[in-house]
Amino acid sequence: MQRYLLLGWTSLLLATGSGCSPWHTEEYDARLASAEDNAATARLRADQVCYRIDLVEQTANEALRRATQAQDQVQQLLQQSRPK
């Protein structure tokens, strides 16, 4: 009987000493939920950044296309204005 009582007390001390109390469990759950929320927010922000980068790339490509077109037009005008 004393053996079981000693085993019970030892188990109880180990459980409370190792941080398995309900308060610690709630705190760990809250920290885990907060970390998951932070990770979800970071993923969302990363997706938004990728979307904006795509828009910037599209805009830059369009600007390059227009600049090349304008340069070609200037070259044509210069060739037309040269005396023959």
Interval 11-37: pLDDT, tens? 766 666 555 567 777 888 999 999 999
Name which of 16, 59, 43 is nearest 35 in CA terms: 43
First to last CA, the chain: 118
Q: Which of 13-17, 39-43, 72-76 has the lowest mean pLDDT?
A: 13-17
Cα 77 to Cα 73: distance, rounded to the nearest angstrom: 6
* Average pLDDT over all residues of the chain: 86
Whole-Å CA distances, 52 to 20, 39, 55: 45, 20, 5
Backbone φ/ψ region at 18: left (φ over 0), alpha (ψ -120 to 50), beta: alpha
